[in-house]
Amino acid sequence: MVNIAIIGGGASGIMAALIAKNDNNKIDLYEKNSSLGKKLTVSGNGKCNITNVNISKNDYFGNNIDFLEIPLQKFDYKKMENFCNSLGLYLSYGSDGKVYPRSYEAASVLAVFEESLKRKKVNILLSKEITGVKKKDNKFIVNIKNEKPQIYDKVLVSSGSRAFGKLGATKISEEIAESFGHNVYESYPALVQLETKGKKNSLISGTKIEAKVSIVSKQVKDISVFGDVLFTKYGLSGFAILDISLYVSKLLLKEKEVILSIDMIPEFDKNELYSILLQTCKKNPDYSYEMMLHGLLPMKVVKLFSSELNFSQKKLGELTIKEIKQSVYALKEWRWRVVDTHGFDFAEVCGGGVDTTEIKPDSMESKLVKNLYFSGEALDIVGKRGGFNFAFAWTSGYLAGKSLGKIKK
C-alpha cells in the first residue's frame, strides 16, 4: 500500500486526490481550514468561475511560460468538462469564455467534489496545519502542528500561496520547496487593488468609471486594459485595475512607484474629444467648466480633476484653445502614482513560486526530489482574471494525481 500526503485542500489538491486514489494507495488530504475549497466558495461572487473555455499559455505569467504547453495539451477544457460531467457536475459558459457550474452556485461545486472524495475514500483531514516536510530513507516525514509527524511514500504540495489571507493563506509551499533545494521566485500579490499617492482619494472614494488604463514605464510597453475603475480611499480598484495589477505588481518589485495613465473617455480619440469640448464651449459660454465635464463624468471625479487643472472657477467662454487642449490631454491621460499593491491579504492570487524549470511538466513531479510534487499556485504560474487560475489548478492537480496514482516498479 502506497501512502500519499496531499498538502492543501483547494482546487488542485482536490483534483489530485480524486485522480490518484485507487485500491493500491491510501491518501491523506490535509487542509489548514475547517473546510475544503475556501477559494471555490468565493470565486465569481459566489457563482464560481470554475475555468475558461479558451486557454493558452499567453493567458499566464511566469519566468517559464513554455512549461504550460504540455499540461494545457494533456488536460484541456473538454477533458475538464467530461471529468465534471462524470461526477454529475454540469457546466455553462457564455461568449466571454468564462465557465460556471450550471447551478451558478459555488456550493454545488464543492458539494459534488466532497461527495466524490468520500466515495473514493480519500481521508480528509481538516484544521491540520503542516509545518514542514523532510525526507529520510526514501520516506517523507510530514510535520503537523501540535501532532505526531506522519510518514509517507509520496507528497504533493498544493497549499496555494500567500494570497487571500483570511482564507488561510500560507507560505508553507515556498518553505517546503526551499528546504529541498528548489529555487523559489519571490512571490507578489496579483489580481489585487493598487495603493496610490498624491491624489485626494477620499474626495472620490466609491466612484466608478469605465476607462482604459495604461502603464507608463520604460520597463514595459503597450500594456493597456479596458474596464471599470473604482476609486477608493487607499487608491484604485475595479476589474481594469485587477487586470493590470498582474504587470504593476511585478514592476513594483523593481521600482519604488509605477505611473498609471487613466483614459476616462476611451470611446473618443483626442481629436474627437477636442472637437466635442470646443463645440460645447462655443455653444454654452456661460456654463461652468465643471458642468461641461459633468456631462461626461461623475461629479466627484469632475471636482477633483478640475481642481488639479485649476479650472474649477472657469466659465467655458473663458477657456483658451490651449486650455481646451490641456483638458483633452488630461482627460485622456490622467496620471496616478502607484506606490504599492493593497497586499497579499486582498490579492486573489500570487505571482512567483517554485521554479518550473525544476518541475516535470507532464507530472508535476520535482526533478530534484523523487516522489515530491508541486501544483497550483505553489508554482511560478499566475493567470489572468476569468477562470484561468482555477484552470491551471485543475490541470496541474490532474497531472500530479495521474503520476501519484501510478505504481512505480
- Tens-place pLDDT, residues 238-249: 999 999 999 999
Residue 167: the pLDDT is 64
For residue 409, pLDDT over 50 is answered with no
Angle (CA) 130 131 132, round 5°: 100
d(CA 328, CA 332): 6
Element (H, E) at 373: strand 372-374
Residue showing cell 519566468: 63
Query: CA nearest 153: which of 30, 359, 6?
Result: 6
Kindly state the cell numbers that stand for 45.
Answer: 461572487
Cβ contact 391:52 at 8 Å: yes
d(CA 229, CA 298): 12
- Identical fold at 2-189+351-404 and 193-342? no
Query: CA nearest 298: which of 234, 215, 229, 238?
Result: 229
- Tens-place pLDDT, residues 193-240: 999 988 788 899 999 999 999 999 888 888 999 999 999 999 999 999
d(CA 341, CA 250): 10
Average pLDDT of span 16-39? 95
Provide, rounded to the nearest whole percent, the portion of the chain with pLDDT above 70: 98
Say if residue 218 is exposed, middle or buried (CB neighbours under 10 Å; 0-12, 13-18, 19+): exposed
Cβ contact 11:33 at 8 Å: no
Domain 193-342 has CATH 1.10.8.260: yes
Q: Give the CATH architecture of domain 2-189+351-404.
A: 3-Layer(bba) Sandwich (3.50)
Pairing of strands 98-101, 139-144: unpaired
Residue 237: the pLDDT is 97
Eight-state DSSP code of residue 256: S
First to last CA, the chain: 13
Domain positions in the chain are 2-189+351-404, 193-342
